[in-house]
Each structure stands twice: as structure tokens, then as C-alpha cells.
Amino acid sequence: MKILFYDTKSYDRDSFQETLADFSGLEIEYTKSDLDPRTATLAEGFDAVCAFVSSDVGAHTIEILHQKGIRLILMRCAGFNNVDMDAAKRCDIRVMRVPGYSPEAVAEHAMALALAANRRLYKAYNKVRENDFSLSGLMGFNFFEKTAGIVGTGKIGAAMCRICRGFGMKVIAYDVYENPALKDFVEYVSLERLLSDSDVISLHCPLMDSTYHLINIDTIRQMKDGVVLVNTSRGALVKTDDLIEGIRMHKFAGVGLDVYEEETNNVFEDRSDEILEHSTTARLLSFPNVMITSHQGFFTREALSAIAETTLQNALDFDAGLESANDVT
């Protein structure tokens, strides 16, 4: 089975090549191009493509993949909001994903962002490098005995709940389903109560119609003054213009973002100064209490090898005609 691997970074190639040794019958060709309607034509002669969160797996791309004979799209990530599932069904293309690889990788990064934003670590680092050892502008607050509000308590949210408990925080959560594994130490509350009671809010729900712009000026107004907000989930959970308004209102002690709305436009892949100047992400970066990382929550050794293993197993399951819990339906 031949797989065309899009948007290849050197670390992807390393982890997939290492894992491939344990999977016979699979062949991978790597391209640096990301998947979109133009590059979909490269898939001629392959059985499957492997794509990522940044890929454009919309209807147009899928139709071209179908014309080129592709029968399987392997998403090497958990989220699939960038895949047009109606088009995939229409074209009889199976879509498989990696629902969980290392929830702790993302949850640990979420806590790192919360701490870094609260204690202004990025600012402290730069100050000391410039020989400025003063503490002005660096004051934070203790997380111990404060309230953590976790939105979405699936795999990553649950890991974040455990981390927050370890910090001695009271943990409250909002989800459409309660996770029974958390019942001993997490109190489920309404979204309104989570917003008004939390000192640290961390988003771990998927991006769907019902969660699009979940954080907007109305929900921001309901938050405590001096809250720390972290988003490691999907950029469009937060309405960026409203977040900027909230920051201007001094609502936040700190904001930590690993994901942002403009990611899908590849603003930072492009790195054009002009785009950067006008991007809302660049506006966010101008605030001293905002810390942004570049969608690196998943980026640990353990997570990368788990992603490679599950993706290749998905390919084998497809080849063997087996149903899988990793099917996107």
C-alpha cells in the first residue's frame, strides 16, 4: 500500500521511518507540500494520503483525490474539523485519525502556558538576558487553592484536571458529557458558573458548530477579572477580536495560546511581514500578558511515536478491510 505523506517535517519523517520498520506492506513517500486542491494532483498512483491539521481537506481537494484514485485519508492528528466529511462520503473515501496519542503532552503544555503567562516567564527571560534583574511587571498569583475551570473533559481535559489537582487547585469542569473517571475530584458545573468562578480557564473541547467562538465578548464579560485563559484546543474556539477587546478591558492576568484562528490561513508559514503586521495574532503578541506558541502541544517524543504507530496501524486496518474505532464518521 502506497501512502503520500503531505506537509512533511524532518521530525515526521524520522518518527514514521523508525516506526515503519515494524509495519510490513506499507510504503511512504514524503512531500513538503501541504495538501490542498493544487497539491492533491500529486496523489496519482498512491492508495492513501496522510494529512495534518493544517491541510486543506475540503470538498475540492477530496474530489481531486478521488479522481486520482485515493481511497483513504490518514489524518495524523485528533481533530478533523478541516475535513469535509460529506465530500469524503460522497467520494467513498475513508477517513481515519489518531484520536488520542499522548493527552499528557498537550495538557502539560497547557499548564506550561498557564504558568508562563501568569508569571510572565517570557518577559522575565528576556529581562535577565538584557541584564535587567528587576521584578517589575512580573507579579503573578499562586495557583494553589485557586479554581481551575476545564472546558471539555475528554482525554486531554481529563489529563489537565489531574495536573490542576496536583497543583492543589479546586477543579471544576463543563462538558456535554461527564467523565466518570473524574468524579472523585472534579465538580461539573454550568458554563456560566465555570466562567464566573474560575481563576484559570483551559479549553479542551473540539471545534464544532456548537463550540465555534465559545469565548466571545459575552462569555469574556462573565469571567472573573484577573483570570488566566489558555487555549491549546482549536483557534476558532476563541473569537480573536473579542479576546483583544477583553485584554484591553484588563480582564486577563494572562492569556496562553497554542492555537489561533489564523493558523488555517498559514499566516506564519508564509511569514510575509505584511501579513504579520495586519494579523490579529500579531496584535495579540503586542500585549505583555499574552504568550503564544505555534501549535506545539502535541510535540513530544512520546506523542510523535504514538502518532506514527496509530496512523500506520490505521493503514493496515484499512488494507485488511477491518472496521476501526479510529474511523471518522
Q: What is the 3-state secondary structure (H, E, C) of the chain?
A: CEEEECCCCHHHHHHHHHHHCCCCCCEEEECCCCCCCCHHHHHCCCCEEEECCCCCECHHHHHHHHHCCCCEEEECCCCCCCECHHHHHHCCCEEECCCCCCHHHHHHHHHHHHHHHHHCHHHHHHHHHCCCCCCCCCCCCCCCCCEEEEECCCHHHHHHHHHHHHCCCEEEEECCCCCHHHCCCEEECCHHHHHHHCCEEEECCCCCCCCCCCECHHHHHHCCCCEEEEECCCHHHECHHHHHHHHHCCCEEEEEECCCHHHHHCHHHHCCHHHHHHCHHHHHHCCCCEEECCCCCCCCHHHHHHHHHHHHHHHHHHHCCCCCCCECC
Q: Is 245 considered catalytic here? A: no
Number of residues in contact with ligand NAD, rule: CB under 6 A?
A: 30
**Residue selected from 155, 252, 255, 267 as contacting ligand NAD according to rule CB under 6 A:** 155
What is the distance between the alpha carbons of residues 298 and 259, in angstroms, rounded to a whole number?
A: 12
Contact 124, 117 (CB under 8 A): no
28 vs 307 by CB, closer to ligand NAD: 307
Quick check: 325 binds ligand NAD (CB under 6 A)? Answer: no
Q: Which is nearer to ligand NAD, 91 or 194 (CB)?
A: 194
CB atoms inside a 10 Å sphere around CB 286: 9
114 binds ligand NAD per the rule CB under 6 A:
no
Exactly one of 72, 95, 156, 247 binds ligand NAD (CB under 6 A); that residue is 156
Binding mask 45-84 for ligand NAD (x = CB under 6 A): ---------------------------------xx-----
Tell me if 37 contacts ligand NAD by CB under 6 A: no
Q: Which is nearer to ligand NAD, 106 or 227 (CB)?
A: 106
Determine whether 66 is an active site residue: no
> CA–CA separation, 74 vs 9, rounded Å?
16
Q: Which one among 104, 154, 242, 305 touches ligand NAD, defined by CB under 6 A?
A: 154
Residue 174 interacting with ligand NAD (CB under 6 A)? yes
CB of 28 to ligand NAD, least distance (A): 22
Q: In the complex with ligand NAD, which residue's Cβ is closer, 149 or 152?
A: 152
- Rounded least distance, CB 189 to ligand NAD, Å: 12
Task: Single out the residue of 28, 40, 88, 151 in contact with ligand NAD (rule: CB under 6 A).
Answer: 151
Judged by CB under 6 A, the stretch of 65-73, 150-158, 269-277, 315-323 that binds ligand NAD is: 150-158
| Spatial distance between the Cα atoms of 329 and 318, rounded to a whole number of angstroms | 14
Instruction: Identify whether 295 is a catalytic site residue.
Output: yes
Which residue in 66, 109, 204, 263 is the catalytic one?
263
**Near ligand NAD by CB under 6 A: residue from 176, 180, 184, 325:** 176
Closest distance of CB 84 from ligand NAD, Å? 17
Catalytic residue among 295, 302, 309, 323: 295
Task: Give 186's strand partners.
Answer: 171
Enumerate residues 255-294 that contact ligand NAD by CB under 6 A. Answer: 258-259
Shortest Å distance, C-beta 277 to ligand NAD: 26
Q: State the catalytic residues.
A: 234, 263, 295
Interface ranges with ligand NAD (CB under 6 A)? 78-79, 100, 103, 106, 151-157, 174-177, 204-207, 210-211, 232-234, 258-259, 295, 297-298
